[in-house]
Amino acid sequence: MHTTSIAIPKEEVGKFAFYHKDVYECLREKANRVSQLQRAMQLGNLYQHKVRIEYQLNTGERHSVYTTVWTICPDYVILKGGRGIPIKAITNIRLI
């Protein structure tokens, strides 16, 4: 699932409707995504390390944001600044 995404500032996250289904069907891909998000949260909380999160919108368009992950809830990732992205809409996490 690697296509071009539009980079946006974290303040723009949530201004467009997120994809309503899970972008992954495979349980292994879902588990890998959660593992990467947990690592991103650890790096963000310990070292203020930023990551690039790519996610899909309802329109099929993909956006990405370069930010710090503060916490992971059961259904959302909360970014620095309090913005959230539904985990099921996340297509890729790059630990830069």
**33-84 pLDDT tens trace:** 999 999 999 999 999 999 999 999 999 999 999 999 999 999 999 998 899 9
pLDDT of residue 1: 47
22 located within any domain: yes
69 located within any domain: yes
20 located within any domain: yes
pTM: 0.93
For residue 6, pLDDT over 50 is answered with yes
- Distance, in Å, from the CA atom of 86 to the CA atom of 53, rounded to the nearest integer, reads 11
- The alpha carbon of 25 is separated from its chain's Cα centroid by a whole number of angstroms, namely 17
Q: How would DSSP label each residue in 22-62?
A: -S---HHHHHHHHHHHHHHHHHHHHH---EEEEEEBTTS-E
1 located within any domain: no
Which strands make up the sheet holding 84-86, listed edge to edge? 69-72, 76-79, 84-86
The enclosing domain of 85 has a CATH number of 2.30.30.100
Domain count for the chain = 1
Domain of residue 53: give its range.
6-94
